[in-house]
Chains A and B, each alone.
Chain A
């Protein structure tokens, strides 16, 4: 299957700092990537759809100024959590779908802990 790489796998930061998470499609080009947030023992909540070369589409209730998404190339999307606070602590995971392929592949996820 296709490979989606996500870094870092774990981040611990102080409140008020910004954290950047990278998502890369290693063996295919992805014009669209998806960012999810997952709380313990809960489902995957779609935060935004990242579109290469254009603005991301955010789901209702997700602050676009808080969660900055940049999809500057066909293989890289980044999520920046700005001025992180403890309530932003969560598991963030990206995913992408190869061209002409209905299957969705996930990155390995990033566990963010804000102190």
Chain B
């Protein structure tokens, strides 16, 4: 089965700085890679996703890059704000199949 690893487990940045979270996956057949943001006690919210036929996708301050050859993908948050503080999860899946989640990154943005 698929194995998704995520680093770092915790990340602290100063407000306004950038944050980068990285994930690797093992199954070369995985073709969909979403990122979720989860606040304490709340449901995970999809913040950005990327398909395997795309190398990069950006949505305002958030971007995701994918390297299919190396089987890794990264979340980039620029100009971080205190409200970006949360736990972020990456995931990998084949369309129609189950999702495999990373172990999560607790991001703290220091005002």
Name A's B-contacting residues (CB within 8 A): 1, 34, 41-44, 46, 49, 91, 93, 95, 102-109, 111
How far does the Cβ of B64 sit from chain A's closest Cβ, in whole Å? Answer: 14
Q: Which residue of A lies closest to B32 (CB)?
A: A102
Chain B contact-residue range equals 20 to 34
Shortest Cβ distance from B46 into A: residue: A103
Task: Sort A-B residue pairs by CB-CB distance and give the 3 closest, nearest first.
Answer: A106-B43, A43-B103, A102-B32
Segment of B14-22, B66-74, B78-86, B93-101 in the binding face: B93-101
Contact A49 B43 (CB under 8 A): no
Of A34, A42, A107, which contacts B43 at CB under 8 A? A107
- Taking the closest CB of chain A, its distance from the CB of B35, in whole angstroms, is 12
Residue of A nearest to B45 (CB): A106
A42 contact from B45, B95, B104, Cβ within 8 A: B104
CA distance A34 to B14 in the complex (A): 37
Residues of A with C-beta under 8 A to B102 = 43
Residues of A within 8 A of B41 (CB): 91, 109, 111
Question: Contacts A103-B34, A106-B43, A107-B43; is A43 near B95 (CB within 8 Å)?
Answer: no
* Contact yes or no, A1 B98, CB < 8 A: no
In whole angstroms, what is the CA distance A41 to B36 when docked? 15
CA distance A106 to B41 in the complex (A): 13
From A44, A46, A93, A102, contact of B95 by CB (8 A) = A102
Decide: B89 and A109 in contact? CB cutoff 8 A.
Answer: no
Q: Is the CB of A34 within 8 A of B32?
A: no
